[in-house]
Structure 1
Amino acid sequence: MSTASSARRTKAPDTRSPLRKVLTSFGFQIVVALILGVVLGLVARNSGASAANHTPLSDTLATIGTSYVTLLRAAVVPLIFTAIVASISNLRRVQNAARLAGQTILWFAITAFIAVSIGIVLGLVIQPGSRAGTGLEPGQPYTVGTWWNFLIGLIPQNFLGLTVNTAQDPVTHALTSGVSFNILQVIVVAAAVGIAALKAGKKAEPFLAFTESLLKVIQRVLWWIIRIAPLGTLGLIGSAVVNYGWEKLTALAWFAGAVYIGLVLVLFVVYPIILKTNGLGIRQYFSGVWPAVQLGFVSRSSIGTLPLTERVTERNLGVPRGYASFAVPLGATTKMDGCAAIYPAIAAIFVAQFYGIHLEWWQYLMIIVVSVVGSAATAGTTGAVVMLTLTLSTLGLPLEGVGLLLAIDPILDMGRTAVNVAGQALVPTIVSKREGILDQELYDAPRDGQPFAEDLDEDGDVDLASQEAHSLATVTLQEQADAAPEAVAEEDAALTR
């Protein structure tokens, strides 16, 4: 094993007291924030707060939660662009890059197939649409996905995928405009730029170096945002309790239960089986990936969790940096076992059952095809409405059925995103193991509660790049020292001749 690889596992001694270790643990802070958020949300509801009636406490919780999500979304476009360009360019440093890319996509499809199959079985067994409570009112989905719109949406309208939407207030007739980004178009542009940079060869090296440096800067800013995730968690959970409470789950309890049963089966049964069959420890995987899963649950955004997912995949699970920087960003935009497999399968069956529509065998087959092939339609953003409407339109089911499920979508989206993130770290780990490039020693290393400390100089630990550079420099100096006697002997011989 190389000295640089050994340096990866070298950390400064952890001198924190046991109490401080618990208090500064990211997981502990998230759990405390979840509990406080639920408590404050219930307090606000008991004080008369609801989705229609605001109180100072409910407004405070909503402001904290939306502000945190806004911070995450502000970094989405630069993060996606630089991450995809850098991930494609990093393939030039990886041996068998084409094979790794093919294996990654293949395993994305395999796990998606398993997840959507579980969703179909649960939909048929639990019958959530037939058990739906009364009082459900169909509504119009705010976003509609079709294969035609999906294909057209891949064509960039401009370099940044920038769109401007204008709406008129029905009361004041005032016009308001908002700027948004088409994430699919950003992905297409970034992929084209990355491939073009590879084809350009040495002349593109300065551009690729700048992109990688910019990505590091953006990731550091996102890391600061991640550090305040417990505060965002408190606001998001508290606001969700105020807006949705527990009563709206009553009418859709069977549907919500079916979705979460599917998510639990994939996360705690399917993934462990895949790990075990590939000779990897189950406990080590979950202890390594759990910080990213927690953040995904809270933020409801695979893209917002991307920096953390990449860190745990590389630093905890032992996936090589060059491959991780390609596979994880790719997974954050296309690997959606929760949003694009389990959820649309159960939701489509729910809509069919609710409206009394009998589905043929080929329609169930189409659910599988759409889930495996159309995952990119979710584009790593919060929510799976686009994927669901894409599935419903493909099956010819009424799109109004989406409106039945929107009331509890945020509650379901937490679990869906957590499973998405877990899968985005799982596939690179499995592929690395099968290709013989996984750092098994790092994967099996004990967790000390500081999964990213070696990259954080503010925690008093040595930066990874500095460690590797120092190790390589030490090796070089040692080689020079070892070679010095031989060089002196050669000079003496030359003088003698």
Structure 2
Amino acid sequence: MTAFGPQIIAGLILGVVLGLVAKATGSTADDPNALGQTLEIIGSSYVSLLRTAVIPLIFFAIIASIANLAQVTNAARLAWKTLLWFAITALIAVVIGIVLGTVFQPGAGTGQTAPEGYDGNTGSWLAFLEGLIPANFLGLEVSGSFDAESGSVSNRVGFNVLQILVIAIAIGVAALKVGKAAEPFLNFSRSILAVIQKVLWWIIRLAPLGTVGLLGNATATYGWDTIGALGKFTAAIYVGLLLVLFAVYPTLLKLNGLSVRKYFAGAWPAIQLAFVSRSSIGTLPLSQRVTERNLGVPAGYASFAVPLGATTKMDGCAAIYPAISAIFVAQFFGVDLSIMQYLLIVLVSVIGSAATAGTTGATVMLTLTLTTVGLPLEGVALLLAVDPIVDMGRTAVNVAGQILVPTLVAKREGILDDSTYNAANPLDPFEDDDAAATLEVGSESTPGETHGGKTHDGEPVTAGRAS
């Protein structure tokens, strides 16, 4: 673990202690004392900081991924094969998540009721279809409320993630079709994405403080019932992650005639870095490097598939996690899910993972899932309290899947270098050629536009945490 890991653990412990102190001194959800209010402000402020970057992050990350299609020979066939396998593995993962959520029942027995004003009829197939049509260019939604006692009017501006997703895909495809004339726009998009990721990394570094507020407020509001429920939730998540990583992926490798041991030996440096850094995009350069050097995937294809996977292929964040989380939130607030809502969870997990964008992906995906299914968004803040714990395992599975799919597609298309894949010992991804010297764990990385170990401008890429 890096110094960041102990900070998160310290934040978890401190949050629980302060939350219990606040509750013991009379703090309640309706009438919090000074400590309770402080914890609530710290937690809500951190969530607000994350939400601030969601819209531009989704928008520019998807455009940048689509733009990478222009870099690939025979792009159409390989792109569709890649996306198909993304969907297949995501479908398997989300089904595992739903099964584990119903078996573990992590949110059951808390005795909580749905928040005031919650409308349980919002999650439906028709609502999902209506939500796909952008109401305006930015997918913004404005709602207002009137307080009869004070006579005040308050307005709230929100956003529809599905609509932003549709808009970004349309613009990305259009830019790809326009060709050379769109290059300035695509370069601008990449630059904006790099700036957003830098700001996001600063926000992520505040996670220990945010953890204190989020978990402290949850403990002060709900007491030990919350801690026990979140513990069951965390256990269910890790069982699902382990099943996908060490059962589903090895099965797919075997079915395609590939050695399981060789895959893990070659991919392990990236999986390990993902677990520590908790960033798919931060691990991207190393993921691409081990995919090419250790597993024998051609550089031209890997430079498209791995960056695309870093923004759209999230079996941990976008399949297992939202499935179990949605079931947890429903059980926690005593909401019964219908068959249609379960199907919506599957649909959103399979086609909506492009919204995850490799950094605060799970938060975005959880918001997208809860909104689509029609569950209380108060569950987002509750689950963010333990997010750093589950995020390490989620990211490791994400990166393992991002390396697995290009390897499977390359094997099935007959372009995999079998001698490299089956080499006696995998190469050290930090050695050889000009880029090796810059592949230092913990350094800053450029987002998604890598091409055979080089950035879009031809400079060596670096591996490490998301910038």
- Which TM-score applies when normalising by structure 1? 0.66
Amino acid at match of 1:431: V
- From 265, 276, 286, the equivalent of 1:291 is 276
2:133–2:163 Cα contact (<8 Å) kept: yes
1:88–1:194 Cα contact (<8 Å) kept: yes
- From 92, 114, 118, the equivalent of 1:141 is 118
Match of 1:102 in 2: 80
1:89–1:197 Cα contact (<8 Å) kept: yes
Match of 2:66 in 1: 88
Q: 2:22, 2:84 → 1: CA distance?
A: 47
1:328 aligns with 2:305: no
Q: 1:239, 1:72 → 2: CA distance?
A: 18
Identity %: 38
Q: 1:135, 1:291 → 2: CA distance?
A: 36
Match of 1:338 in 2: 320
Q: How does 1:161-200 map to 2 (within 5 A)?
A: 161-200=139-178
Amino acid at match of 1:309: S
RMSD: 4.4
Amino acid at match of 1:265: V
Amino acid at match of 2:237: L
Q: 2:196, 2:384 → 1: CA distance?
A: 29
Match of 2:404 in 1: 430
Q: 1:59, 1:354 → 2: CA distance?
A: 28
Q: 1:66 to 1:345 in 2, by over 3 A?
A: closer
Amino acid at match of 2:383: P
- From 301, 307, 312, the equivalent of 2:283 is 312
Instruction: Give CA deviations for 1:178-223 in whole Å, capped at 9, x if unaligned.
Output: 1122221111111111111111111111111111122112222222
Larger radius of gyration: 1
Aligned-residue offset at 1:42: 2.7
Q: 2:98, 2:12 → 1: CA distance?
A: 31
Aligned-residue offset at 1:430: 0.9
Q: 2:240, 2:430 → 1: CA distance?
A: 23
SS at match of 1:156: coil
- Which TM-score applies when normalising by structure 2? 0.70
Number of equivalenced pairs: 404
SS at match of 1:89: helix
Amino acid at match of 1:410: L
1:44 aligns with 2:22: yes
List alignment gaps of at least 5 residues for structure 1: 1-21, 294-307, 392-398, 457-462, 472-497
| Greater alpha carbon shift after TM alignment, 180-189 vs 193-202 | 180-189
Instruction: Give CA deviations for 1:139-181 in whole Å, capped at 9, x if unaligned.
Output: 6635722211211111112211122111122532421111122
2:61–2:193 Cα contact (<8 Å) kept: yes
List alignment gaps of at least 5 residues for structure 2: 254-259, 292-301, 357-362, 411-415, 447-452, 462-467
2:90–2:315 Cα contact (<8 Å) kept: no
Aligned-residue offset at 1:225: 2.0
Q: How does 1:457-476 map to 2 (within 5 A)?
A: 469=459
1:383–1:409 Cα contact (<8 Å) kept: no
Match of 1:272 in 2: 246
SS at match of 2:264: coil
Q: 2:192, 2:102 → 1: CA distance?
A: 48
Q: 1:310 to 1:148 in 2, by over 3 A?
A: same
